Amino acid sequence: MEFVSPEGLRLDGRRPMEMRQIRAEIGAVSSADGSAVFEMGNTKVIAAVYGPREVQNRGQQLNDQALVRCEYSMANFSVGDRARRPKGDRRSIEISLVIRQTMEACILTHLMPRSQIDIFVQVLQADGGTRSACINAATLALADAGIPMRDLVTSCSAGYLNSTPLLDLNYVEDSAGGPDVTVGILPKLDKVTLLQMDAKLPKETFEDVMELAIQGCKAVAQYIREVSPQNFIFLASVSQLSV
């Protein structure tokens, strides 16, 4: 199948290095300590953060840092007519773990010992790249909850189809069977905190695709900084001195 036309356009009209339109809305769940909706094209997710609060299961309490928990799920209606795997399937468990580890890398957990932070992310509309959208939503929700962070963390995916690196794959591109790389970065600290790839790629191609995904993460970071209220503090410069 042709994913890039001779004119250099993708099926949805984008250029290979073009991201889908992104949009964020902060404070969508009033009962949560922090929340955000994040959209990347037709992919739409919501994140709600509770905490820092008392650890519910005392046996899991950590004396030197906060316990971070994360649950990823897909709403029944999120995939339209397509099949959705049952709640709590292997994919959801894996994505929950990946998002938890990614967010843990940016939260200053040692400042909140013996507490618990719960991050719930739910996919409302799935069109590829849901784990990236969830990470971007979780960053905003954590900041909205006033949770101290080293830096914001942003994520984007990129793939390789018809010998062309493509930024921010939608569902049709994602399910074409080509390589798909999901990256998460701490933009100010210039660190990669997440890298997932589900196929093999030659080294040079991998570097091109990875670089493209990093550029996508940086564009998301720029957008998040623009929409974040002044009182959202992402501590990159301070933490470099003190952490």
Indicate whether 85 belongs to the interface with ligand UDP (CB under 6 A). yes
Where does this chain touch ligand UDP (CB under 6 A) — which range of 60-68, 125-133, 148-156, 186-194? 125-133
51 lines the binding site for ligand UDP (CB under 6 A): no
Q: How many residues bind ligand UDP (CB under 6 A)?
A: 14
Between 67 and 201, name the residue whose CB sits nearer to ligand UDP. Answer: 201
Among the listed residues 68, 98, 99, 126, the single contact to ligand UDP using CB under 6 A: 126
Stretch that binds ligand UDP, among 114-122, 123-131, 142-150, 202-210 (CB under 6 A): 123-131
Write down the least CB distance from residue 99 to ligand UDP, Å: 10
Q: Least distance to ligand UDP from the beta carbon of 113, Å?
A: 32
Among 10, 14, 131, 150, binds ligand UDP (CB under 6 A): 131
Please report the DSSP string for the chain in residue order: --SB-TTS-BTTS--TTPPPPEEEEE---TTSSEEEEEEETTEEEEEEEEEEEE-SSGGG--SSS-EEEEEEEE-TTTTTTS--PPTT-HHHHHHHHHHHHHHHTTB-GGGSTTEEEEEEEEEEE-SS-HHHHHHHHHHHHHHHTT--BSS--EEEEEEEETTEEEES--HHHHTTSS-EEEEEEETTTTEEEEEEESS---HHHHHHHHHHHHHHHHHHHHHHHHHS-TT--B-HHHHHHH-
Residue 58 or 82: the one with the smaller Cβ distance to ligand UDP is 82
DSSP β-bridge partners for residue 120: 48, 71
**Of 52 and 159, which CB lies nearer to ligand UDP in the complex structure?**
159
**84: contact with ligand UDP by CB under 6 A:** yes
Cβ atoms of residues 43 and 125 within 8 Å: yes
The CB-of-92 to ligand UDP minimum distance in angstroms stands at: 8
Alpha-carbon span 79 to 61, nearest angstrom:
37
**Does residue 174 bind ligand UDP (CB under 6 A)?**
yes
Pick 131 or 150: Cβ nearer ligand UDP: 131
Give the residues lining the site for ligand UDP (CB under 6 A). Answer: 79, 82-85, 91, 126-131, 171, 174
